[in-house]
Amino acid sequence: MRSPAALATRVTAPPPLYDGDRLFEEIAYIAYHFHWPLDEILDLEHPLRRRFVEEIARINQRRAEEE
């Protein structure tokens, strides 16, 4: 029988809890720019949601530089 320590090395830890304020900020940012409903934004996996936030920021930066 394996020891608990040996078993623990095979189990991957869940991702750290996400800061609630940051989650709301991302949701509001995406909803404001894309006009997507809350349920659709919440259905996005975290990496994809972050990618949309980054892309929106890039678009906004380019538009600001053009003005």
Residue 60 binned pLDDT confidence (cut-offs 50, 70, 90): very high
Q: Which residues contact 52 (CB under 8 A, 6 or more apart)?
A: 30, 34, 44
pTM of the full predicted structure? 0.68
Residue 15 binned pLDDT confidence (cut-offs 50, 70, 90): low
For the chain, domain boundaries: 18-66
Task: Give the C-alpha separation, 2 to 50, whole Å.
Answer: 39
Are 48 and 26 in contact by the 8 Å Cβ rule? The answer is no
Task: Give the C-alpha separation, 32 to 27, whole Å.
Answer: 8
pLDDT in tens, 17-54: 678 888 999 999 999 999 999 999 999 998 999 999 99
DSSP letter (8 states) at residue 10? T
Q: Is the dihedral of CA 45, 48, 54, 55 positive or negative?
A: negative
Q: What is the pLDDT of residue 66?
A: 92
